[in-house]
Amino acid sequence: MLTTEQRSRVRARLEQQHEALRLEIADVQGQLAAPEAIVDGVDGQGDDGNMLFAHEQALGELMRLHQTFGQVKRALQRLEARTYRSSEVSGHPIPIERLEALPSATTLVREHLLV
């Protein structure tokens, strides 16, 4: 169980991450909507290979950001449901040190390696 102070600290950190990720996602989506902006950032070459490579990188980054955004959103929901500190695999308490290092963690370290 988290103390009130720990819950407040975790909530603030997760909300800050949530907003930062939302802005990053909007930025990458803007880059994908304006392909010339991506090409300008690739040594000014502008050939099809560079454009495709830069576009693929942006898509990969967008996927990673969406995944992390979902994890943070889920952690906020778990915080509200008061299941935040319980592992989704075993139900055992997640050490506070792990949650301080990775606030969106939903499993114990050894369980994460198995998933």
**Residue 35: per-residue pLDDT:** 65
Six-digit token string for 89:
């695999």
Among candidate residues 80, 61, 69, 62, the one with its CA nearest the CA of residue 104 = 69
What band does 34 get if pLDDT is binned at 50, 70 and 90?
A: confident
**Residue 51: per-residue pLDDT:** 76
pLDDT digits (tens, 9 = 90+) for 58-80: 899 999 999 999 999 999 999 99
**What is the residue-averaged pLDDT of the chain?**
87
Among candidate residues 4, 28, 7, the one with its CA nearest the CA of residue 78 = 7
* Side chain identity at residue 76, one-letter code: L
What band does 1 get if pLDDT is binned at 50, 70 and 90?
A: confident
> What are the sequence ranges of the domains in the chain?
4-85
pTM of the model: 0.80
